[in-house]
DNA sequence: AATGTAATGTTATAATGTAACATTCGTTCT
DNA sequence: AGAACGAATGTTACATTATAACATTACATT
């Protein structure tokens, strides 16, 4: 299954989450460096807050935190940072939840396929070429040319399945 | 390609749209009859307004119309009707647009794959088993069990492609 | 008619997101 | 260093989307 890339994994219970955050931030640094984009302190902080959990994070949750740290923080403060991070592929918006998750392997265009666990709330991301190609083929059959697919799948992660049957 | 069902088609330019609406409404009548659900005048009217166009319709656009017809119409009036229609599979919400489209072939669970033309704004819906099975298989590979996929694909419909290259 | 449930009315407010303009910050050029 | 420019952030105001909570009405069954 070579073409199935995992961009963001479900956690297997307890883990050293600080490492997830650290890794995400340094990947982001490198990414922006590479692209000649500025990962300012504000943008970095927002990215850190998005990575605060493996579940989706809402814009106003981020704002609540930022407000305590910077006087004058307002919705545009957060939304602009989120827009930037999305453009860089560092975070994805989950449209069906109006919330955001970090991307573990940025550099690809758009988001892959987001897997959302209904039980624990965690979100994983895979990016499978076969799925995209099949969707493109089926779309072509009806005359449609894909530019950007949004795929958000709700279900149950392995851990939650093993826990409650 | 037997497993590719078309639940809602792109239009080929001009057509007798009144027929689309009439058909949708009688299908809905039959559907609700079948299920023992009540397609009240209000719900029917909302469904009709959703079918007013082949493009997505917003809740507050519907509300604007209903307000002129019924004093006392308020957001819950529309959202409750939309919720009912979604439960019956008569309309789908497009999460990435916060808007609604009618389903041309209700009776299936959830929505199929929505195709959204960036040029003309029209939305088609296909429901392809192969796509769903492949997604399910790939998800299983990472231990994930699908309950409901949300697939919304932006691109260009056949007509728009032939028109502007 | 009485009763119970589903549907709608009504008021208020929550949650999400953006427009528009002012200010500050960083870089580049002289 | 200072000027000049664009990018980033601050600030205010508002637009859009959606729901909570409770009152009333309509409908079906007895
Ligand atoms: Zn972690
Ligand atoms: Zn889970
Ligand atoms: Zn039509
Ligand atoms: Zn089109």
Q: Kindly report the nearest CA distance between residue B157 and chain A, in angstroms.
A: 5
Residue B3's pLDDT is: 85
Q: Could you report the per-residue pLDDT of B122-143, keeping only the tens digit for each?
A: 999 999 999 999 999 999 999 9
Instruction: Supply the CATH number for residue A123's domain.
Output: 1.10.10.10
Helix %, strand %, coil % of chain B (to 5): 45, 20, 35
How far, in Å, CA of B120 to CA of B110, rounded? 25
* Token pair belonging to B101: 């489209």
Whole-angstrom distance, CA of residue B102 vs CA of residue B50: 6
Average pLDDT over residues B27-51: 96
- pLDDT, tens digit (0-9, with 9 covering 90-100), for B78-119: 999 999 999 999 999 999 999 999 998 887 767 799 999 999
Chain A's closest residue to B10, CA to CA, is A142
d(CA B5, CA A119): 31
Q: Which of residues 2-31 of B touch strand D (CB under 7 A)?
A: none
Average pLDDT of span A148-154: 96
Nearest to B144 among A115, A139, A146 (CB): A115
Q: pTM of this prediction?
A: 0.94
Looking at the predicted structure, is the pLDDT value of residue A57 above 70?
yes
Sign of the Cα torsion B16, B18, B20, B22 reads: negative
Among B96, B57, B97, smallest CA distance to B78 is for B57
> Quick check: A67 CB within 7 A of strand D?
no
pLDDT at B165: 66
B33 C-beta neighbours (distance < 10 Å), count = 11
Q: Which domain holds residue B26?
A: 4-163
Which pLDDT score, from 0 to 100, does residue A151 have?
A: 97
Number of separate domains in chain A: 1
Q: Would you state the pLDDT for residue B2? A: 59
**Once rounded to an integer, what is the mean pLDDT over residues B62-91?**
96
Closest residue, chain A, to B7 (C-alpha):
A142
pLDDT of residue A131: 96
Q: Is A109 on the interface with B (CB under 8 A)?
A: no
| Residue B110 per-residue DSSP state | S
Residues A69, A54: Cα–Cα separation, whole Å: 23
What values do phi and psi take at A97, rounded to 5? -125, -5
Closest nucleotide C1' to the C-alpha of B70: C9
């Amino acid at each position: 299954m070579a073409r199935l890339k995992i961009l963001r994994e479900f956690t297997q219970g307890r883990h050293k989450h600080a490492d997830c955050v650290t890794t995400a931030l340094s990947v982001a640094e490198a990414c922006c460096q590479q692209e000649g984009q500025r990962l300012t302190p504000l943008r970095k902080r927002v990215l850190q807050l998005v990575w605060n959990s493996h579940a989706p994070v809402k814009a106003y949750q981020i704002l609540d935190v930022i407000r305590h740290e910077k006087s004058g923080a307002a919705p545009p403060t957060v939304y602009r940072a989120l827009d930037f991070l999305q453009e860089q592929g560092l975070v994805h918006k989950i449209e069906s939840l109006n919330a955001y998750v970090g991307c573990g392997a940025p550099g690809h265009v758009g988001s892959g396929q987001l897997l959302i666990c209904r039980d624990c709330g965690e979100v994983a991301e895979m990016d499978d070429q076969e799925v995209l190609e099949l969707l493109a083929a089926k779309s072509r059959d009806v005359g449609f040319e894909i530019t950007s697919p949004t795929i958000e799948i709700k279900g149950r992660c392995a851990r939650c399945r093993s826990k409650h049957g």
